[in-house]
Amino acid sequence: MKSITSYTSDYLLIEGGKPLRGAVKISGSKNATLPILMATILTREECQIGNVPQLLDVRTTLELLNHLGARVVSDSSWVCVETAPLRSHTAPDHMVRRMRASVLVMGPLLARLGRALVSMPGGCSIGVRSIDQHLKVFEKAGASISIRHGYLDLNIRKIKPVEHTFEVITVTGTENALMLLSACPKRSVLRNIALEPEIMDLVEVLGKMGAQIDIDGRTAVIRGSEELAGFKHSVIPDRIEAGTFMVASYVSGGDVLLENLRVDHLGSVIEKLREAGAEVEILDLSTLRVRGKTTIKPLSISTSEYPGFPTDMQAQFMVLCSLADGVSEITENIFENRFQHVGELQRMGADIHVRGRTAIVRGVKRLEGAEVYSTDLRASASLVIAGLVADGQTIVRDIYHLDRGYERLEEKLRSLGASVERCPSREY
Strand ranges across the sheet with 71-75: 71-75, 78-82, 47-50, 232-234
Cβ neighbors of 104 (< 8 A, separation 6 or more) are 34, 35, 38, 172, 175, 176, 179
> What sign has the CA pseudo-torsion 212, 181, 31, 62?
negative
List C-alpha distances in Å: 75 to 1, 31, 54, 81, 328: 7, 20, 11, 12, 45
**Contact between 180 and 111 (Cβ < 8 Å):** yes
d(CA 399, CA 378): 11
Q: Would you call 47 a catalytic residue per the annotation?
A: no
Catalytic residue among 47, 124, 184, 321: 124
**Contact between 236 and 29 (Cβ < 8 Å):** yes
**Contact between 301 and 322 (Cβ < 8 Å):** no
Phi, psi of 323, rounded to the nearest 5 degrees = -110, 5
Catalytic residues, which ones? 124
